[in-house]
Structure 1
Amino acid sequence: MAELLMRSAWIRRFHPGPEAPVQLVCFPHAGGAATYYHRLSQAMSPDADVLAIQYPGRQDRLSEPCIEDIPTLADRLVDELVAWSDRPLVLFGHSMGAAVAFEVALRLEQAGSVPLGLFVSGRMAPSVYRHQRMHLATDAELVAELKTLNAANVQILADETLLRMVLPTIRSDYRAIERYHNPSAPPLHCPIVALTGDADPVADIADVELWARHTLASFRTRVFSGGHFFLDDHADAVRQEIRDHIAAVRAR
């Protein structure tokens, strides 16, 4: 079974930790891939066995069609993650990944498996809706938006060949997240930790704090300096937040 799971198209284990007490499941942002969490996986080992999610339509799954609906994506992922229920799960999602992680948490709880915690990063609460149409923008407008959100991508976006490969996937992900809204979702029974940047143009702090409505357990927010990808500049602090949370819930 272990060998079968490691060959899953959906899950990457860059630093397998079969003896780790918990499994940290990481969900990428729009246009992102499992490799975004490689450094986090290395840093968290052996405290957590990091399972980085690989959505269809990118890297080694480039030939597969993207899933342009967040609930459908969550349905597919839960089918995969149920097989990993031998140890407690902690979920971490950034931007679009936060919405996917939330929907996965809902489904896990419905299946009788309550996560130890849900980390939502750089994303407004599911009960908040903003009319956004970037998925309908021109290629040039979409590239300009991406440069605004993540300066680290400027060189990649300047490569015309690479851009032609990744832009359809990014647009599909934008279509999925811009249509997502779930104000009637039942509250979770697991704690939620919301992380955000104080200058994030797409995740206002007030909207991030509304994640509190989506859990019956504890909730807290931590605001970092920076924009939408604040976690790149505060990687050590973010990792420590995860470690502290795991230690606290395990102690209880």
Structure 2
Amino acid sequence: MRTVSSTAAVYRPRPRPGADRVLVCLSFCGGGTAPFRRWADVVPDDVELALICYPGREARFGVPFARDWVALRDDVVSAVRGLGARPYTLFGHSMGSWLAFETAAELERLGAPTPSALVVSGGVAPHRRQAHGTHVPRSHDSDDALVAWMREFGQMPAVVAAEPELRALAVELLRADLAVSESYRFSAGSRASVPLRLLYGTGDTEPFAEVERDWKSLADAGFEAFELPGGHFYEADVWAGLPRWCTGAAPHAGRP
């Protein structure tokens, strides 16, 4: 049985209420829960997978898109607070890496339970996003430009690109998330007070050494970084195996 909480926007592909811990996943710009659902087949038996569904997509298609970054962050914070008292790891990819960082910081400010660890993937450090990201499209770009970008980065399958209605929905979703991410402003002094693990593709757009240095500068409670094969979404088998990097000691790969 698959369950979706309409209030907390949490999708559990394989509910495990007796699991000792939870892996909470935050998606990338224009994404949903679908890219993470197969992870339920590979997470350890003592881990429950909890996928956060942002407004305006999938089970929350009828919910208006978040109006700005703070609204999206608060929506995620509400979802994470509704997960219960079990220990959890917070994972975010690309835009989700900033959301994971900011969600953990906001939970700490609220006095709510914080994650046992943060795993940030495929994203530059939030305080450096203005200096990087020249490859990222803007919310005012044309539909054709957004489609081309999604196709280049492997975010739009050929079957979606070939279907006008599906393509239009994907463009609308990406444009909305781009507008939200453009409103993000890093708060000077924000830190990661829990252990932080960085994952990054060998062929991603920014140099790994710079991304590693920038994230490390925000970490107060332990830091490690690993470079994995592939580009922004890694190689297919690497993406499928990412739960290994989120739920246990890092497998031997890349360089710490």
TMscore range, shorter length: 0.7 to 0.9
Aligned equivalent of 2:62: 63
Q: Is the 8 A contact 2:8 2:79 kept in 1?
A: no
**1:147 aligned residue (144, 151, 158):** 151
The question of whether the paired residues in 2 share the 8 Å contact of 1:126 and 1:183 is answered with no
Higher helix share: 1
Task: Output the TM-score relative to the length of structure 1.
Answer: 0.87
Q: 1:152 to 1:172 in 2, by over 3 A?
A: closer
> Is 1:168 the counterpart of 2:167 in the alignment?
no
1:205 match: 208
Aligned position for 2:221 = 217
2:151 & 2:240 partners in 1: Cα distance? 24
CA contact (8 A) 1:24 1:90 kept: yes
* TM-score normalised over the length of structure 2: 0.86
* Contact 2:229-2:235 within 8 A present in 1 as well: no
Structure-2 residue corresponding to 1:238: 242
Say whether residues 1:87 and 2:86 are aligned partners.
yes
Q: Which digits, 9 at most, give the CA deviation of each residue in 1:20-48, with x for residues without a partner?
A: 11111100111111122111123215231
Stretches of structure 2 that go unaligned for 5 or more consecutive residues are 251-256
How far has the Cα of 1:186 moved from its partner? 2.1
Contact kept in structure 2, 1:91 and 1:118, CA below 8 Å: yes
Q: Which residue of 2 aligns with 1:125?
A: 125
Q: What is the CA-CA distance between 1:225 and the residue it aligns to?
A: 1.8
Residue matched to 1:52: 51
Runs of 4+ in structure 1 off by over 4 angstroms are 4-7
Going from structure 1 to structure 2, the CA distance change for 1:168 and 1:125 (only over 3 Å counts) comes to: same
Deviation, 1:114, is 2.6
Structure-2 residue corresponding to 1:31: 30
CA distance in 1, matches of 2:6, 2:142: 37
Deviations 1:170-199 (A, max 9, x none): 111112223434151421210111111111
RMSD: 2.3
Counterpart Cα distance in 1 of 2:11 and 2:81: 16
Deviation at 1:153, TM superposition (A): 2.1
| Residue number in structure 1 paired with 2:71 | 72
- Secondary structure of the equivalent of 1:127? helix
2:141 maps to 137
Q: Secondary structure at the match of 2:242?
A: helix
Distance 1:34 1:133, change over 3 A: closer
Aligned-partner Cα distance in 1 for 2:219–2:82: 25
Contact 1:15 1:45 in 2 (8 A): no
SS of equivalent to 1:91: strand
- Between stretches 180-189 and 30-39, larger displacement belongs to 180-189
Report which stretch shifted further, 20-29 or 122-131. 122-131
The one-letter amino acid paired with 2:238 is H
